[in-house]
Amino acid sequence: MHRQPLLRLLDQYLERNPGDRVRVDHVRHFVRVHADCFERTCLEGHITGSAWIVSADYRHVLLAHHRKLDRWLQLGGHADGETDPAQVALREAREESGLAHFEPWAAESFPLDIDVHVIPARGDEPAHLHHDVRYLLVALPGQPLRVSEESLALRWFERDRVHEVSTEPSLLRMAERADELLTQGRQR
């Protein structure tokens, strides 16, 4: 079954992050119930992948000013049929930043965070949930940024100043988790 690898990953994530049980259980239930969970056509919601991108020196984080949501956010997007959320996060990081070369923080591409958030209704698209699997990526140096159609701007922010740009609890949680890993200099 194409959903089993994600369900195993969620189980492993929960073993390492037991405090995230409510969010992970929500995603696990969603994946079990919806065979089309990797497709946008699943109107209740879908699996997405996001990238928390840090500079090669770990001093900055790349955020996009999202065109539709009008907020500074991590880069990421829809799975569109891809069943590996790490690959989704990497694809979206490349498409939305213009950067081509990244290193995952952990050799095993283990998620940094799991989140479920509401995407408001827009046009013919009803409000729905994004079941977001998030990864920490390190951008290799010397690459120019290119703003995609999905963003109004891209900008490197000092890691310790992200809280000045956003008050989104899930973004701040992701920043905190990344900071813990980067400060300790350990890989999962």
pLDDT exceeds 60 at position 143: yes
Task: Provide, rounded to the nearest whole percent, the portion of the chain with pLDDT above 90.
Answer: 82
Q: Would you mind telling me the total number of residues written for the chain in this entry?
A: 188
Distance CA 92, CA 24 (A): 22
With H, G, I as helix, E, B as strand and everything else as coil, classify residue 1. Answer: coil
Domain extent for 8: 4-184
- CATH number of the domain enclosing 149: 3.90.79.10
The predicted pLDDT at position 69 comes to 81
Place of tokens 């729905």: 128
Q: Are strands 151-158 and 60-66 parallel, antiparallel or unpaired?
A: antiparallel
Greater confidence (73 vs 103) lies with: 73
Query: Based on the structure, what is the number of domains in the chain?
Result: 1
Percent of the chain with pLDDT over 70: 96
Cα 83 to Cα 169: distance, rounded to the nearest angstrom: 27
Burial 27-41 (b: 16+ CB within 10 A, else e): bbebbeebeebbebe
Tell me the C-alpha distance between 169 and 90, whole Å: 23
pLDDT tens digits along 25-41: 999 999 999 999 999 99
Of 22, 29, 65, 21, the C-alpha closest to 45 is: 29
